[in-house]
Structure 1
Amino acid sequence: MTTETSSTSYLRRLGVWDGAMIVIGGVIGAGIFRTPATVAERTSSGLPLLALWVLGGLLTLTGVLCYAELGSRRPQAGGIYLYLREAFGTLPAFLFGWTMALINYPGSVAAVATTFADYFCKAVDLPLLWVKPVAVGAIIFIVGVNLFGIRAGALMQNVFAVLKLTAIALLVVVGLVLAHGHLGGVLATDAIHPATRGAFVGALLPVLFTYGGFHYLNDMAGEVRDPQRTLPRALTLGMVGVVVAYVLANIAYLVGLGHAGLAASQAPAADLMHRLFGTPGAKVMAIGIACSTFGYCSIAIAGGARVLQTMGADGMLFRAVGYIEPRTRAPQVALALLGAWTVVLTLWGNFGQLVDYTTVGEWLGHVFGIGTLFWYRWKFVDEPAPYRVPLFPLLPLVFVVTVLGVITATVIETPGDAGMSLVIIALGVPVYWVWRRWQRR
């Protein structure tokens, strides 16, 4: 029985446009509207700041090319979990799934949903005490829509992906208007924030966080039409669009606010709009950011639920988690569980804690996920692969070594919240053995 006709499996309904919008929606969330200020604090001028965004984009694009080959080789739902299970066995796959279920998917959604609620409340003049109730309501609404299947979720995502690109385009236009044709200040040195030792590496982490989320399409590969051709095209098209949008947005910040002004800003996007349009402009941007963050939450919940469903079907979680509703072909139990835990994290932490809590776990997952590409090339040397990473093994090695270096520096610099990811990964080992023993009994 084929995947397309089975009543207990997914249907392939997503095309190149849908896939590219999922990549854009999964990457562009809250980060580009907030983290450029953090990067500016850790750099001395616009030149290293822009270099970091270009470097982060090229590094992420390298990872995307690797994911394109992995997805074309194994076009089923589950993404990294699936690759780790086949290449390295059930324990590494379980540790990845354990980490993603407890940290990455719910943590990132909780962080971004909180940001969505913050900007939404500002846009409609609600008091701050409404932020967490609005965030929880958004999560419940997104889960509810995705219970109706991938087409309902994809339609919602496509709309919000276009809206978030519109918001970034508006930022770029406003920045250029404020520059009055004088772009020389973009690369000017900032005497207030001199370069310090290790600052460049420290600034790369928030850049990588802002570029994170490109893997969600692979999580949904079981619902992509003609995946051997569609996945590489959608991944590449979507990620190139993100890099261009991010670099242009940072140029707009620099010409509109200056490097020192960007570093001092708590909400650079809103501040940029405020300079030209006053309070109404800041409210317009708040609406744009709310749309962007809401769209990210939709993609993260949809992708995370597919990973949990695959784990349930494998017996790595309760079998009920692997259930796919026959009519909608949605992983309804996985969606409900992921949504519930996300609500718990939303009520628990603030944005800064949740960012640190998720970034290390996510990028470690990317390192080991892309590491499976070496195993596939060795084990299936004669297997037809419609897409292959160029310059193999150089590009995967560059990605793995660079990301491991950034993770190591981050854990040394902030061993608290960042190190918590490593602790939870390690705790997954005894949980795995207890679970396997319970299954055998």
Structure 2
Amino acid sequence: MSGGAYIAAKRQCEALNEADVECAFLTIEHDWSLETSSYETTTDSDNPKLKPMMRKYKFADEFAQAYIEPNRSALSNSPFSIWRRNSETNDALLALLNNEGFTHVHFHYAPQLLNTKLLAQLKSDGIATFITCHDMYYFTGGCHYSATCERFQQNCNHCPQVSTDHHSLISHGFWEKHSAFSQTHANFVFPSQWMHDSFRRSAIGMQIPVKQCHTIRNCIDQTTFSPARSVNIQALRERFNIPADDIVVMAGAVDNTERRKGFEQLKTVLLATSKKLRELKSSRKITLITFGGSDQSKRINTQSIRQLALGSLSSIKVRDVMQCADVLLFTSSQDNYPNVVLEAIHCGTLVLATESGGTKELLSDAPHRTINTGSIERDCLELAELLVADDLPKWIRQAKVPSKSFLKNNSPRSVASTLSQVYQEALA
């Protein structure tokens, strides 16, 4: 498990335990041999496992994907899920929460787990429920990111992300979700103010009291991600066979095939940068390091820019790349509070980015830059201008020390303190 929501949830759980707030991290075990759903706890671990009967648990998801995916339009290929009224896992999850004495449950990325009947039973059992919106799924008819669509403000009828929806599953799912949330006292958490504002504009979010909505940042793993000393940077560059004087630009995502991640825009930026370097007859040398969970990262061919395509990386190896990189180039068209940007800033890496969702909030401090000209093409050209700018080395030096406000807002201690407070208020 390596997605952004999983990483953010794990870090928050660790931060809460460090702050003496008892917290267990629930994971789902995918064992197709199980004939019933159950849960498992161990005496030496605070991390219980939910063990669903996979044939029933996955059926609804596989049905939805078989219905939706063949009908996807060109607008987006981001994940799409259909809301559920019930789930095979409900009884096992409720037994775990009640038998083990949990007073709160906090859902992060759980489209296969959260459902109408479960929300009602959690309310009946008096278990305070929190839901973090790592994407837009909880207030749309099914899309996890809306692209340019704003229909979640009304009813999600005629979804532009699918070409046909003959059975109106998307709009029915939207209103089922609307009804489910209106009848519970669930609290909603948003890593970015942008996601919070999007929720409040939605027909689903409008009905939720303001006191049940909280902007709480994702926190950083301060042990793993930190600026490297000069001697370590030199050693890392030697390991990757990067010349000491090169400007090192990094770019990547868990899945580079997802269109909103902006891989096509990244290629446009690099092609424009390569062209400008040749036109200026610049002596600047750039090494591009790409990483991610697809082979898209191997398809960038530019003159004047040397490339290393590293594929999927562990957190430690991502940290190593960040520590030897000068610039993170981030070209997503829609994002919440991306961990890769959070981690890069904490490693002292300059971030040049398109202004996408909550990214602007992360990059509010100089020398980091966000671009929003109103045109994707112009945004790409502006980012290329920054990569060839005379001031780039100065910005790289300035980024080596993250601002005090950034460190405070995203520290595990600060995030744990805020979470603990809203958890207490939910029981008042």
If asked which structure has higher relative contact order (CA below 8 Å, sep 6+), I would say 1
- Alignment TM class, shorter chain as reference: under 0.3
Which has the higher Rg, Structure 1 or Structure 2? 2
Q: What TM-score does the superposition give when structure 1 sets the normalisation length?
A: 0.23
Which is helix-richer, 1 or 2? 1
Which is strand-richer, 1 or 2? 2
Q: What TM-score does the superposition give when structure 2 sets the normalisation length?
A: 0.23
